[in-house]
Amino acid sequence: MISDKCTADTILKVNDLDVYRGNSKVIQEANFSIHRGDYVGIIGPNGGGKTTLLLSILGEIEHEKGSIELFGQNTGNFTQWDKVAYIPQNAIEFDDYFPLSVKELVSLGRVRRSNLFRRLNSKDFDKVNEAMDFMGISDLAHRRIGQLSGGQKQRAFVAKALVRDPEILFLDEPISGMDFETQEKFYMTLSNLNRHKKLTILVVSHDLTVVFCRMSRVICVNRKVHDSEIRPDLDPNDFLQKAYGDHFHFVFHSHSCHGDFNGV
């Protein structure tokens, strides 16, 4: 049951949303709300529309029908994009020899249209150092970004997002290419970020165990969109069969759900 307080603190609301890619309807009549402090897993089969849903919310893809509201304002008129951070699937795919240090990359998060030609000041660098410290990459500050592992790169891009002081963070399949242990540590870092920074997080993931173990809400996308609060009485199989079909059976893998971790 969502409290009146949570209802009043809705920061993302999607109503009767239809989205087309070409002539195909990819999202059909999506309805859900995200509240401040939610940690949301977006799951579903490949090609089911997960990335399309994210890009629609971010205004990168027009929707045919329905509405999307961020912080109580229709996205067509929304201007406070500094409150929103997005890390796409291919964020870490770039030339490994590009001469950019981790600290320089994170610092770019402080550059906005309003301060495009201003030199960064001490407050900016305080934010940069704080974000790197929280993400456990302070010791990598002067390393070239291309020299990092996949998990380290992802933490650097999350730090770059954090220096903007966003209120909601979207990540699209951030663990692609990571080994299992690194994936576990990265998701624990996101859990720490959600708990300690009170940041609302929506992450596209194929790791169903992580979603149902760590997160507070799940959205399953397979053209139609199903969502639920993750409660002790929620049966993952019953929920997932709505999207995947009656043949689907969910089995937990070994996973550490609790505790903080400060490194990947």
pLDDT of residue 255: 54
Domain range holding 54? 4-244
12-21 pLDDT, tens per residue?
999 999 999 9
Higher-pLDDT residue of 106, 114: 106
CATH number of the domain at 50, please: 3.40.50.300
Confirm whether 252 is domain-assigned. Answer: no
Confirm whether 256 is domain-assigned. Answer: no
Confirm whether 22 is domain-assigned. Answer: yes
At residue 99, φ and ψ (nearest 5 deg) are: -80, 70
What predicted TM-score, i.e. pTM, was given to this entire model? 0.88
Confirm whether 254 is domain-assigned. Answer: no
Confirm whether 253 is domain-assigned. Answer: no
Confirm whether 262 is domain-assigned. Answer: no
Looking at the 3D structure of the chain, how many domains does it have? 1
- Cβ(182)–Cβ(264) below 8 Å: yes
Nearest to 87 by CA among 159, 4, 3, 183: 159
Confirm whether 251 is domain-assigned. Answer: no
Confirm whether 169 is domain-assigned. Answer: yes
